[in-house]
Amino acid sequence: MRFHAVSGSATRQRTDCAVVGIFESGALATATAQLDAALGGRISRLVKRGDLRGKAGESSLLDVEGGPCRRVLVVGLGRKDGFDRRRYKKVLLAAAAALAKSGARDAISYISQEPVEGTDAYYKGRLAAEAVGHALYRVPVIRSSRKPKEAALRSFGVSVAERDQKKDAERGLAHGHGIAVGAALTRDLANLPANVCTPGYLGKQAREMAREHRSVRAQVLGEPELRRLKMGSFLSVTAGSDEPARMIVLRYQGAAAKQAPVVLVGKGVTFDSGGISLKQPVGMDEMKFDMTGAASVFGAIKAAAEIGLPINIVGIVPACENMPNGRATKPGDIVHSMSGQTIEVINTDAEGRLILCDALTYARRFKPAVVLDIATLTGACVIALGAHLSAVMSNDAELATEIEEAGRRAEDRAWRMPMAEEYHEQLKSNFADFTNSCGREAGAITAACFLAKFTDGLRWAHLDIAGTAYLTGTKKGSTGRPVPLLVDFLINRR
């Protein structure tokens, strides 16, 4: 896919499809009015007849003759006041989806000429490229019938209001394309079935990324190495599975070796049955998505390599299955973590924190500037925030604010939740240093409090993406979140 920026009137740009907007009031956007005049008032006549209503995200594809384009895609922009970043992204996603269904090989969006609250040419370009990448994504299909047809679109441009904005828009398009490539990798890994995307498969994908990008190195540790590292907590989760666990380390170097890295730790439970604390059968198939934290680490590092970010990043992925058999960890068992702290396992379905805690301890050897862990950790987070916002919890208020701001800029929002001392009290154990679970109340918070016990001296934040990582029901599949948030965070740490 080729992305580019243009300036000037819509009547002078030749393209297969011009993407223009109208507001709910019936007002034509700037470029729409220009094209309408060139087309003899065709668009305004459709507005007067009520065929084009301007509702945000609605679109109509018009076949035109005699103008600079063969098609005009008219997209509703909603109310003229309050045209902000969120609505701009919604409109672009709708436009990109319509383009993907059309036969257009190239298109130019003129919606980016309109003022958008809280944004600029860079973010307009970036969000546009992300939207196109999202629309062109195809779920990996494992079937005997013919695979879905790919979209014809090969080139996409955004138009800027002023010529001196082109450079910023082109930078945004390049970053947005990198984010889209990273998000596509995340979605691919998460959408694959658990009998394909195993811990071993993730290890192979890490090595493949290292072969593709000179800036990336991969290391894959097996169970013998994990035992030597005394990762008893991690190994307790995989004890009931015949699939060997892996600890995957991806290192992206975009800056001098002496620069402290950002460490991203991603939960990689490639299938979570709940272990002995077995889950209900309904919805258990969705537990292949329980490695989306790991997949988002892969995606963020892929995006960084595509963009060429001038920072250092270390990705750590503890990957395993959580299965029940005669060797599986039982409720009431006590395990030793790499840190030396002991954990009473109350619930084997609270397994993500058991693998993450050893990975967080392992992260210390890289002397990180900051550590972020990303995990589909708790159903409680879905109850608290639904499918709209990820939860962020941190031992550093400034770091939490950085993450929230990155989420707002990327339109991949997160909400900070508390970790007061009272919540830590709920993890007390009569038999070990603490328990891994303490009931339903404030479950997302107490899970973060558990992880915090392994982060003394680190600038650390935890992202619970259980509600945002994938969709359920008829639209089941990975969303690619929180790759946009993570990459925005990394871009702005330069």
Tell me the per-residue pLDDT of 344-384, one tens digit each, with 9 for 90 and over.
999 999 999 999 999 999 999 999 999 999 999 999 999 99
Question: Which residues fall within 8 angstroms of residue 14, CB to CB, at 6 or more apart?
Answer: 68, 69
Token pair of 62 as six digits = 């018009």
Token pair of 189 as six digits = 């890994």
Angle between helices 483-491 and 292-307 (to 10 degrees): 40
The H helix count followed by the E strand count for the chain is 15, 20
Tell me the per-residue pLDDT of 454-487, one tens digit each, with 9 for 90 and over.
999 999 999 999 999 999 988 899 999 999 999 9
Q: What confidence score (pLDDT) does residue 494 get?
A: 64
Q: What is the pTM of this model?
A: 0.96
312 backbone dihedrals φ, ψ, rounded to 5°: -105, 140
Q: What confidence score (pLDDT) does residue 113 get?
A: 95
Residue 208 CB coordination number (10 Å): 12
Residue 170 half-sphere exposure, CB side, CA atoms within 13 Å?
Answer: 10
In angstroms and rounded to an integer, the radius of gyration of the C-alpha atoms of the chain is: 24
Tell me the per-residue pLDDT of 102-153, one tens digit each, with 9 for 90 and over.
999 999 999 999 999 989 999 999 999 999 999 999 988 777 776 667 889 9
Question: Would strands 155-160 and 106-109 be described as parallel, antiparallel, or unpaired?
Answer: parallel
DSSP 280: P
368 backbone dihedrals φ, ψ, rounded to 5°: -75, 150
> What residues does 393 pair with on adjacent strands?
462
Tell me the per-residue pLDDT of 33-57, one tens digit each, with 9 for 90 and over.
999 999 999 999 999 999 999 999 9
Q: What confidence score (pLDDT) does residue 72 get?
A: 96
- Under 8 Å between Cβ of 29 and 77: yes
Angle between helices 292-307 and 166-191 (to 10 degrees): 150
Identify whether 330 is a catalytic site residue: no
Name all domains of the chain by residue range, CATH numbers in brackets. Answer: 2-136 (3.40.220.10), 183-491 (3.40.630.10)
- Under 8 Å between Cβ of 213 and 298: no
Q: Which of 86, 207, 279, 364 is catalytic?
A: 279
DSSP 24: T
Q: How far apart are CA 427 and CA 326, in angstroms?
A: 27
- Under 8 Å between Cβ of 83 and 114: yes
- Under 8 Å between Cβ of 109 and 124: no
Q: How far apart are CA 453 and CA 449, in angstroms?
A: 7
Question: Would strands 246-253 and 370-375 be described as parallel, antiparallel, or unpaired?
Answer: unpaired
Q: Which residue in the block uniquely carries the two structure tokens 């409090």?
A: 449
For 17-55, b where at least 16 C-beta lie within 10 A, e where not — what string? Answer: bbbbbbbeeeebbbbbbbbbebbeeebbebbeeeebebe
Instruction: State the Cα torsion 121-122-125-130 to the nearest 10°.
Output: -150
Q: What confidence score (pLDDT) does residue 263 get?
A: 98
C-beta contacts of 140-149 below 8 A and 24+ residues apart: 140/188, 140/191, 140/192, 142/193, 142/196
Q: Which residue in the block uniquely carries the two structure tokens 């005049």?
A: 37
- Per the document, the length of the chain is 494
% of the chain beyond a pLDDT of 90? 94
Token pair of 44 as six digits = 């305004």
Mean of pLDDT over the chain: 96
Tell me the per-residue pLDDT of 171-204, one tens digit each, with 9 for 90 and over.
999 999 999 999 999 999 999 999 999 999 999 9
Tell me the per-residue pLDDT of 54-94, one tens digit each, with 9 for 90 and over.
999 999 999 987 778 999 999 999 999 999 999 999 999 99
**In this model, does residue 444 exceed pLDDT 80?**
yes
Identify whether 217 is a catalytic site residue: no
Tell me the per-residue pLDDT of 312-349, one tens digit each, with 9 for 90 and over.
999 999 999 999 999 999 999 999 999 999 999 999 99
Q: How far apart are CA 206 and CA 218, in angstroms?
A: 6
Q: What confidence score (pLDDT) does residue 433 get?
A: 98
Q: Which residue in 246, 266, 243, 247 sits closest to 328, CA to CA?
A: 243
- With cut-offs at 50, 70 and 90, classify the pLDDT of residue 280: very high
Q: What confidence score (pLDDT) does residue 99 get?
A: 96
Q: Which of 353, 413, 453, 481 is catalytic?
A: 353
